[in-house]
Each structure stands twice: as C-alpha cells, then as structure tokens.
Structure 1
C-alpha cells in the first residue's frame, strides 16, 4: 500500500449494509493530508487548463463547475483507485469485474447557491426491478469542509426511489422537497476522508457563504453492463498504461492512445445550471 494511503478498517458487511440502506458511506482519514494537498494542486491546475478553452468546464449552477479529466492529470491516481478501502467497496457492491469510468471534480466557489435536489442520472432497470446497485461515485474533499462552505447534503435511502415522476428521471418536484429536507444530512468531510455513494441517492450542493472554494474529486465506477462509460471520455497514454499496476489496468476499459485529447465536457445536467429558484 502506498505511503499516501493510510490503513483503515475494512468491514465488507458494513459496507454493503450502509450502501444498501443509506446509499452513502464515509471512510475517515484514508489518505494523508500531504497527499490531499498534492491532489488539490492537480485539481486547481486542471481547472485553470479547462477554463482556458471552450467546453473545458461545465456549469452546475452559479459559481459552481464540473470538470472531467484524464487519469494522468492526477499524480495520485493509482493511490486512489488502488486504495484497499476503495477496492473493497467496489468489489462488495459492484462485483470483482467493476470498471472505472469517470475521473473529475466539482468546485463550488464563493456565491454558489443551493442546487435543486437531484440524482445524477435516471434509475436503471437493475435498480428499480432487481434492487441492485450498478454504479458508485467516490468523493474526496480537497479541503476541510466547514458549515459556510456549501457542504454536500444527501437524503439517505432515496437511491431506491423509482423516480418515475422525477423530471428527466433526475429532478423531483418541488412539492416533494419537504420529504428530502426531512431526511437531509449535511456532510463535513476533512482532508484525507473519502466517501462512496450511489449516484441515485437524492442530493444537492448547498449555498457557499464563505470566501473559499470547496473542490471535491469524483471517481465514477460501474458494474459490468451499467453503461455509464458512454457519458465519459477517459483515455490514457501508452506510457501511462505501461506504468500502471496490472490490478489497476484490469479495471480500466478506456482507450490507450499516443496523445491525450483534452476532454470536452458532455455530462451536462441542464437542470443544475440555474441553481435552485
């Protein structure tokens, strides 16, 4: 295990129960603060590059952006995806043949407003009919989250909501907001913490009243056949591929190329652009 990855307890039954019951699970101090400081440097550099070209960053509400990146933009990519806790969560919920489909980050800046309650995509048949999760999103905060920084808010257990009455299968009606607000839990992760959640769990970013940004890394992982890779454009160079441990290569199905092409964002969630009315 990398020196950046700290030893944490792994209880697969607790992992399964938490994600099936609440749809979200956290792991405290999985990484060193020095590793997270390096991660933030890489995220901020990637954001500056993305903002310098058309389509490099997509708005997720006022003063809030999402950027998808290639694995090579992160010096700690292998540390992240090969962390024993991350592997255990993926294997327990998605099975041993899981695939990494997304690497990106979300940044709410000062002045970001409450997002509408939403899930990241419509619930698939495997979830609504078979009661089975086919994807996970891991989040790694790049800062110590405080109350005024627009913490992530989630409504536990809502990943099982069919969502057939949600707009585009993703946005519940505002008349349903009291149900989510009654369940709502705000999360205050600190540097080194990591979480895993179902992207179907209804959630939102909240108002950032501070003068600080709150960058959060996103790692998306699929079970076989989930199909979320179609929404993303991961690629690695041949030199990077050759350096990756076989255990990591086994979970990457992306193209191996001679030269990387900057990603034009296409995972747009139109309902988030204006923020909550």
Structure 2
C-alpha cells in the first residue's frame, strides 16, 4: 500500500509538508540564496533566464547551510523512498528567483517524460521545493495542473510545452500554491506547471532539489561537491548523493537553458 504522500504524487502530482522547518531556518535559506544570486549575476553564465525577470541558478550544495537539514528531514526521506525506492539519489540543487515584473511562464514540464513513466506508469524523479519567503497572491505563485504527469507529451513542443490550444484545459485544472516559510513540497517534474506574474515589489526565491530513482537518466545533471565537504558528510547522506567529487570547487556555468521559457508566455 502506498503512503498518503506517494498516493498524492501518483494522482495529483504534488504533495507538501507544512511547517517542516521553523521560519527562522527559511530566513537563513533566503540569506544564502540572496548571496549566491548576487554572485551568479556578477559573472558570465552564472544565472540562466527562465523568462523576463526570472532566473534559475544551479549551485554547490555546500554553499547552503541547510542542505544536510533538508536531505535528512524525515518527511523528505520518507517521500523519496516511497516513490523512488531506497537507493534514490540527490542529483540537482538550485533555486528559482521570480523578480518583480516576472510574467506568466508558458505551461511546461521540466523535461520530456521517460518511457518508465509513459509506458511503465512509474515516477522516477521528484523535485523538492522550499520557499524562502511567505508567498502571497501578488508574488507570482506557482501553478500546477494536477494529474498531467501521465500525459505522454507526444504533441508537446520538445516533449515539454503543450500547445496553447491546451491552455484553457490546463487553466481549468490549475491549482495555485501559496507556501509559507518552513514549508516543503515534492512534485513530479512532469506535472505541467508554470510560474505566474509577479506583481509585487518582492522577489520570490525558491530552492529546488532534484531526486531520482536508481538507474534513472541523470545526463541533465552534474552535482558537484568538494572532497573535504563530501568526506565530512554523514555516511547516510553520502549514500544518496549522486555527485562528482572534486578537490576544489569552480564557479558553475549554468547548463539548464530551456529555450521555450526565455520569452515567457507571449
């Protein structure tokens, strides 16, 4: 029998744990994200556009003070094990920042659906999201169309972007999420979703961690940690970290360009 969280991911495509952390933990996360965002925008290729006034930045896990707290949280571990199996791997760490003036994104999934999902009915990846602010309606909340993780995407541009003729259907399904500091959510990256227009004067930074099942395609990912950090991690964290270990970290050049998101929803 599936857990309630696994059932939610297999049906709606999203689940959440309210108050997984104290708000003060999320405040430290925001401080780290703001510092990393400033660094990323100061160098060529440090941040990638996901639409007007919207950015994604992939990061080194050790630059987050709360990384180990998050990947060892009992709820996060239980969801990952229930959906992805006991040998799941953490393969991506990054954050989205919709700034004031960000517009509606096109409806999309994060990558084309693999055969294991479209033919085998199995989810092989999850995205865990952690807001760094208390989200309001004006800040461009995340919208998701429950159940769409099972659509094969054959008619989607690049297997990711449904035609605009599908938008009325997706908007009729859409659920708008307003997470608060300390909340953690998990979703299938295949469930169609979008960021909405940020009409506030405040950025809405969100941490994203990518988890995959053992044997899943990780060609899009390249998580990197330093040897000193890796060796200092608890063994049960190292066992679930799908990463490269290097002697010295170098600034990351972003690889996750998604051309269809650059202009937003025209």
The match for 2:197 among 190, 207, 210 is: 207
The match for 1:131 among 118, 121, 136 is: 121
Assess, with a 3 A threshold, how the Cα gap between structure 1 residues 129 and 12 changes in structure 2: closer, same or farther.
Answer: closer
1:191 aligns with 2:181: yes
Partner of 1:74: 64
Q: Which stretches in structure 1 are left out of the alignment for 5+ residues?
A: 1-10
Partner of 1:267: 256
**Equivalence map 1:121-270=2 (5 Å):** 121-228=111-218, 230-270=219-259
1:97-154, Cα deviation, whole Å (9 max, x unpaired): 0010100000000000000000000000000000000000000000000000000000
Alignment partner of 2:3: what SS? helix
Cα drift, residue 225 of structure 1: 1.7
1:87 aligns with 2:68: no
Alignment partner of 1:101: what SS? strand
1:151-203, Cα deviation, whole Å (9 max, x unpaired): 00000000001111000000000001111001000000000000000000000
Q: TM-score, normalised by structure 1?
A: 0.95
Partner Cα separation in structure 2 for residue 156 and residue 80 of structure 1:
25
Partner Cα separation in structure 2 for residue 256 and residue 158 of structure 1:
36
Cα drift, residue 236 of structure 1: 1.1
Partner Cα separation in structure 2 for residue 233 and residue 16 of structure 1:
27
Assess, with a 3 A threshold, how the Cα gap between structure 1 residues 233 and 15 changes in structure 2: closer, same or farther.
Answer: same
The RMSD of aligned alpha carbons is 1.0
Partner Cα separation in structure 2 for residue 253 and residue 222 of structure 1:
9
Alignment partner of 2:223: what SS? coil
The match for 1:97 among 84, 87, 94 is: 87
Q: Which stretches in structure 2 are left out of the alignment for 5+ residues?
A: none
